[in-house]
Structure 1
């Protein structure tokens, strides 16, 4: 489309199309019909095509006019919503929070990490996007995201001055269907030798630690299945295909949701979670809530672990 779209002319077109008449639109806009007609002509000339055709003194949208109206209708509906938000008291305005969640994070944990934002005393519109850490960080840098939740630290780069906040930490536990868990629990971890194991194909930091821990114990696992989706991996576990690992902090929910039981806990292997923001100081109230409350919980968990 040559030139720059004149949004005032587009608005006039939208009102005319919505009202179905130049006369009614001119009354609504408090403009003379001739003035409105000239504005519409200017828009059509800038586009290089007609938006209306006349049929028996009626204005009928052309195919391009119908397409243009659909876009304009969405644009001005959103603009009306924005005006309502801007006219409201600042304390009553809803917050918009765009969160990137590393694909390797258990979704049950991701929800727990987002709870401080969800429970703010004001409305929060949250959109979540999962993916690889590098892609999420690019979106964070370009301001398409407000915060990224990750189970690993970003690579060091002097051009990036990320705010890094430790917001969660948990030991790792092993789970299986009740019959298998009962067989393996008493002599754990030696009972795991040659046991069918369901591995997460997304190489999470704790997964590497866990495999090294088994190696140090002289235990060899039979890695029968590798799956890059933590929920699907648990479904395989629920159907008796083998043992799987998950952070202990979501033990009760994992057992309830997938009808499995915990075999044992590996305290020396931990899953550490981070909130990554563009700056250390948070201007976004929801991001601040995630970082500060998450950091407080992580600190209390560490203190409790040292006491134990």
Structure 2
């Protein structure tokens, strides 16, 4: 079967729902003889009987039941499409396909995306995480609308992509309450020899934090490298070590994971960027993100 005749499939679907050709012909406003002929043509094209008659009733065959499962899905979707198309264009849901760097904390990712979801236009969010390099390729192939990342790409290698700096956050150190209380006095020297939970996704802020430790003469004991920011906090809440998180989400981190802040490291900043195709942002959701979190760019 090189090409499925959707009109014939629709006639079959209505006959199945109505239970008889007579009732289906009324719904479709076709003569019963015409509808019977269309059904016979469809049966010939699919290579088998779709109904058998039992006591003047049409009963689906195995082939008919199989085709009906597909027809139900097809015409349910077309019904949804018809409803959507009846809406004013400004009222139709807008899909936002966002890529988020795996090294960005999940709470920060929510904070960045939230303005798009809070606008007047209904947004259907499709969000994926992964390596920034992979998501930039998807953005160039128009599979994504925006990439949110914590590392600046090399623009000369990325064609027509534009980087929009977003407001970042200083970093803070956290630990389970008992451990945190013992480390506040004498900070940062108090961190010497203490267990450290590291980010395994090569987050830029973590390298900056390690450099800051080195400048302060602090040497911590690495106990785990974890590529999931939420899992790091779970280990930290159980007393396995000290972990870093953006100060901007300090209250939520402490509440959700029952940890305490040791100190804020103002010299270490988690930088954030939105990457888009072209300089002018046409997508309403992406524009809301950049307007809510964007920082003025230095033009000098």
TM-score by length of 1: 0.88
Contact 1:182 1:263 (C-alpha < 8 Å) held by counterparts? yes
Deviations 1:104-151 (A, max 9, x none): 211111111112111112322223222222333343334333222222
Q: Indicate how the Cα distance of structure 1 residues 9 and 279 shifts in structure 2: closer, same or farther if over 3 A, else same.
A: farther
1:211 aligns with 2:210: yes
- SS class of match (1:235): helix
**Paired residue for 1:40?**
39
Q: How many residues align?
A: 298
Deviations 1:246-274 (A, max 9, x none): 01111111111111111112222211112
Q: Indicate how the Cα distance of structure 1 residues 64 and 248 shifts in structure 2: closer, same or farther if over 3 A, else same.
A: farther
**Paired residue for 1:253?**
252
**Paired residue for 1:182?**
181
How far apart are the structure 1 equivalents of 2:48 and 2:280? 51
- Listed as ranges, the matches of 1:210-249 within 5 Å are 210-249=209-248
**Paired residue for 1:136?**
135
Runs (5+) with no aligned partner, structure 2? none
How far apart are the structure 1 equivalents of 2:290 and 2:196? 34
**Paired residue for 2:262?**
263
Contact 2:166 2:290 (C-alpha < 8 Å) held by counterparts? yes
- SS class of match (1:143): coil
Contact 1:137 1:148 (C-alpha < 8 Å) held by counterparts? yes
How far apart are the structure 2 equivalents of 1:65 and 1:140? 43
Contact 1:140 1:147 (C-alpha < 8 Å) held by counterparts? yes
- SS class of match (1:271): strand
Deviations 1:186-233 (A, max 9, x none): 211111111100111111111122112212322211110111111111
- SS class of match (2:250): helix
Q: Which moved more, 1:260-269 or 1:84-93?
A: 84-93
**Paired residue for 2:2?**
3
How far apart are the structure 1 equivalents of 2:67 and 2:278? 41
Q: Which moved more, 1:274-283 or 1:196-205?
A: 274-283
- SS class of match (1:111): helix
How far apart are the structure 2 equivalents of 1:299 and 1:222? 39
RMSD: 2.2
Contact 1:3 1:46 (C-alpha < 8 Å) held by counterparts? no
Give the 4+ runs in structure 1 shifted more than 4 A.
155-159
Q: Indicate how the Cα distance of structure 1 residues 287 and 196 shifts in structure 2: closer, same or farther if over 3 A, else same.
A: same
Contact 1:196 1:243 (C-alpha < 8 Å) held by counterparts? yes
How far apart are the structure 2 equivalents of 1:53 and 1:267? 78
Q: Indicate how the Cα distance of structure 1 residues 161 and 184 shifts in structure 2: closer, same or farther if over 3 A, else same.
A: same
- Listed as ranges, the matches of 1:27-66 within 5 Å are 27-66=26-65
Q: Indicate how the Cα distance of structure 1 residues 38 and 160 shifts in structure 2: closer, same or farther if over 3 A, else same.
A: farther
Contact 2:146 2:275 (C-alpha < 8 Å) held by counterparts? yes
1:169 aligns with 2:168: yes
- SS class of match (1:18): helix
Q: Indicate how the Cα distance of structure 1 residues 179 and 147 shifts in structure 2: closer, same or farther if over 3 A, else same.
A: same
**Paired residue for 2:77?**
78
